Structure 1
Amino acid sequence: MVDKFIKAYSKKIVSKPECIEVKEIIDEKENIYNIIIYADDADVGRLIGKNGKMISSIKNLISGCKAKNGMGYKISVESV
């Protein structure tokens, strides 16, 4: 559910939405979802934002899910 939201939200931010891929890796030992956003080289900066404000906003939105299901979330952005 979270990965679908991040994918849809990320596609609205970037200039090449067709390049967006989101991968979710579950670490059950540490109760963490590792979410990796893959984007075009030119769009990585847009997803991170000035001084990291955009990625921080995404993390703040996702923090509500942490309270709901007790799992932590780590979000990272990588170029394709």
Structure 2
Amino acid sequence: MIFFANFLSDLAVDLEEGEVLAEWAQQAPRKAWLLRPGDVLVSPVPLGRKFLEYVTGLTGVPSESVTVIAVPPVGAVPLAQAVR
């Protein structure tokens, strides 16, 4: 599975609430709790290695069996545009 964590949606972009959108992005690492072997997490902020190892240690998922890709936001743009 591919998890897209807390990226901007078209609705959120219309809100033009920069502070709220930045807070949403900072919460992206919590999606790591959903990961299973072979999954990919696309996050607007980097996940710390120690945090990922903590999560995978508790869930029993080997950290090397998941992929985390950080796609920094490039302003108030929807997910597809940020990933491109």
Higher RCO by CA contacts (8 Å cutoff, separation 6 or greater): 2
Q: Which has the larger radius of gyration?
A: 2
1 or 2, which has the higher helix percentage? 1
TM-score over 0.5 for the pair: no
Q: TM-score, normalised by structure 1?
A: 0.33
Q: TM-score, normalised by structure 2?
A: 0.32
